[in-house]
């Protein structure tokens, strides 16, 4: 079964997901990739980028628990 963070309601059910390397850096600093090819950053260190990614994932989990139409928790 696909985990909630690996599946969006708009994704077809018969798709295989491949996890890619999220972190990368260049002359501007450190970044992490999210779905859709977006890069979040730059951060001054890998640790700052990883910390922000952890917060980003926690926010996604909270949003998935919300019923945004009725502003109620689903669980």
Rounded Cα distance, 66 and 58, in Å? 13
Q: How many CB atoms lie within 10 A of CB 46?
A: 14
Rounded Cα distance, 72 and 29, in Å? 38
Rounded Cα distance, 9 and 2, in Å? 12
Rounded Cα distance, 47 and 61, in Å? 21
CB of 45 closer than 8 Å to CB of 30: yes
pTM above threshold 0.75: no
Walk along the chain (75 residues) and give the pLDDT tens digit of each residue.
334 445 555 555 554 545 558 899 999 999 999 988 899 999 999 999 999 999 999 988 888 887 667 766 665
């Amino acid at each position: 079964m696909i985990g909630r963070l690996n599946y969006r309601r708009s994704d077809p059910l018969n798709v295989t997901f491949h996890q890619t390397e999220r972190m990368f850096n260049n002359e501007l600093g450190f970044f992490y990739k999210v779905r859709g090819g977006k890069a979040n950053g730059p951060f001054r260190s890998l640790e700052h980028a990883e910390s922000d990614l952890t917060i980003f994932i926690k926010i996604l989990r909270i949003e998935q628990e919300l019923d945004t139409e009725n502003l109620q928790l689903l669980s």
